[in-house]
Amino acid sequence: MLKNTFFSQKIYPFLLSAYRWYLLTPERALIEAYQAAIKIKEIEDQHFNGNKIDSQSTNYSPSVLEYFQGDLRTLLKTIEMRLTEFKASRWFANESKQKAAIKANITYSSAEIILEKLQFIDEITAKYTNKYIGQNEQNVNSQVVIIPKDFIENTQTTRKKTITNSPNKPKGKADSTGILPRSILSTISRLQVELDPESEEDVVKNFRQSQKRSVLAVRFILLLIIVPLLTHQLSKLVIVGPLVDHFRKPAADQIFLHEEMEEEALMELQRFEEKIKFQNLIIDAPPLEEKDIEHQLVEKAEELAEKFKWESANAVKNVFADMFAVSAFTWLLLVSKSSIAVLKEFFDHVVYGLSDSAKAFIIILFTDIFVGFHSPHGWEVILEGISRHLGLPANRDFIFLFIATFPVILDTIFKYWIFRYLNRISPSAVATYHNMNE
């Protein structure tokens, strides 16, 4: 008797409420999806003048736009999940469950209301079906710079059009001439564009695409510079530095990494001794005793030992920190393939958009710096700096061999690029370059 009373008072109401919740699953899922669609509509009406949520519908800053797009991604995900739940629960519905719903005093919405809500949801989500928002969410955290899919497709289409319309495409005689001069045809085409009522919209759209490309390219360039530098410094301070200081022995033979560093210390100590004697002779002071000279030399030797010990440890730290920086740079290149494509388009737009004299000036500037008459001195300074940074001895034979071969190879690559590509794209720039170089 007690068991029946406990079941009727405790268990049965709980089971009944759980069963009612199960029967109301389609209605509840549809309502949640409908409410999410209403929130998207409210954001469009209040902040985007009834248009879809993107950069072309408003003049908000990138941070504000990213805030609204974050809400949009969340709401679209909610709609997708609730509609999936609605379809699955509707698929499991049958006559027995409908009868059970009637017995439990559960009333479903009419078919007209359900269809009206579904139609409203479809109208809202149709604007963002082919957009980049909400797609590949699993890659959002793995990529440093997120590039819209439609923007990449637009740049690829532009490149294909450029290749198709390039002057090197083989043409027949019938294609090379026309009935009217090309200047008249180009003037007519320009007038058609100016009289087209939609030309202003196209100009604004192209400007926004160019602006977006420039922002993404500059941001990616800064990432390629800042991330490796920060990785180098942080890894050197936090990881590599403490490990090297812990495992490096404080013995005297660990002060110098190579003989050139030891010779440099000896020469500096010798100059210090000569400096002491020279200053003593200038001021007409009594001759210094050997003990005083030796005492000052001992202090200077200890100072030089601490200096070169720090330089040796710092060189070892630089080697491992550079490995971390190169790994970070390689990781950026691997996870940002879309950004690399945009960066290439940006450089093509900037470089090939320069005037002929500007192109020739930049080419002469770079060639004179890296492969010109005075370039060997610059390469020597760079190689010696790299050797000192890594704690390696400056091998003069290797430096002279590098200077004798690498600038020649680089000069050949420059000339081949000018002959193979620049001569085809901008012959006038090549002519200007030859005239300026002469």
Q: Comparing 64-73, 83-92, 139-148, 340-349, which segment has the lowest mean pLDDT?
A: 139-148
Residue 234: what pLDDT? 93
Is 426 part of a structural domain of the chain? yes
**Are residue 233 and residue 335 in the same domain, yes or no?**
yes
Query: Which residues does 39 contact at the CB level (< 8 Å), separation at least 6?
Result: 71, 75
In the listed set 318, 342, 366, which residue is the last one of a domain according to the structure? 342
**Are residue 407 and residue 331 in the same domain, yes or no?**
no
Residue 193: what pLDDT? 61
The residue range of the domain holding 405 is 352-437
Higher pLDDT, 210 or 268: 268
- As given in the structure block, the two tokens for residue 256 are 């110098």
Is 182 part of a structural domain of the chain? no
**Are residue 304 and residue 329 in the same domain, yes or no?**
yes
Q: How far apart are CA 10 and CA 29, in angstroms?
A: 28
**Are residue 244 and residue 338 in the same domain, yes or no?**
yes
Placement of tokens 């001021």 in the chain: 283
The pLDDT tens digits of the residues spanning 385-435 come to 888 888 888 788 888 898 889 888 988 998 888 888 778 877 888 888 888
pLDDT band, very low/low/confident/very high, at 204 (cuts 50, 70, 90): confident
Total domains, the chain = 3
Higher pLDDT, 143 or 405: 405
- As given in the structure block, the two tokens for residue 156 are 């690829």
Question: What is the average pLDDT across 305-309?
Answer: 86
Residue 131: what pLDDT? 44
Burial pattern 65-104, b for ≥16 Cβ within 10 A else e, equals beebbeebbebbebbeebbebbeebeeeeeeeeeeebeee
Is 367 within 8 Å of 433 (Cβ atoms)? no
Question: What is the average pLDDT across 241-262?
Answer: 74
**Are residue 120 and residue 158 in the same domain, yes or no?**
no
The pLDDT tens digits of the residues spanning 209-246 come to 778 888 888 999 999 999 999 999 999 998 888 888 87
Question: What is the average pLDDT across 309-333?
Answer: 90
Is 153 part of a structural domain of the chain? yes
In the listed set 323, 342, 361, which residue is the last one of a domain according to the structure? 342
Is 190 part of a structural domain of the chain? no
**Are residue 359 and residue 323 in the same domain, yes or no?**
no
* 334 has a pLDDT exceeding 60: yes
**Are residue 362 and residue 329 in the same domain, yes or no?**
no
Q: How far apart are CA 87 and CA 124, in angstroms?
A: 19
In the listed set 295, 322, 342, which residue is the last one of a domain according to the structure? 342
* 7 has a pLDDT exceeding 50: no
Q: How far apart are CA 399 and CA 141, in angstroms?
A: 44
**Are residue 53 and residue 15 in the same domain, yes or no?**
yes
* 78 has a pLDDT exceeding 60: yes
Residue 62: what pLDDT? 75
**Coarse DSSP helix, strand, coil percentages of the chain, rounded to the nearest 5 percent:** 80, 0, 20
Is 361 part of a structural domain of the chain? yes
**Are residue 411 and residue 315 in the same domain, yes or no?**
no
Higher pLDDT, 328 or 51: 328
Task: Report percent pLDDT > 90 for the chain.
Answer: 7
Higher pLDDT, 230 or 91: 230
pLDDT band, very low/low/confident/very high, at 112 (cuts 50, 70, 90): confident
**Are residue 316 and residue 369 in the same domain, yes or no?**
no
The pLDDT tens digits of the residues spanning 33-58 come to 888 889 888 888 888 878 888 777 66
**Are residue 119 and residue 22 in the same domain, yes or no?**
yes
CA distances from 8 to 13, 17, 22, 48, 93 (A): 7, 13, 20, 56, 28
Is 323 part of a structural domain of the chain? yes
Task: Report percent pLDDT > 70 for the chain.
Answer: 71
**Are residue 78 and residue 42 in the same domain, yes or no?**
yes
Is 176 part of a structural domain of the chain? no
Question: What is the average pLDDT across 193-204?
Answer: 67
* 132 has a pLDDT exceeding 90: no
Number of H helices, E strands in the chain: 19, 0
Give the side-chain half-sphere CA count within 13 A for 357.
0
Is 180 part of a structural domain of the chain? no
Residue 108: what pLDDT? 59
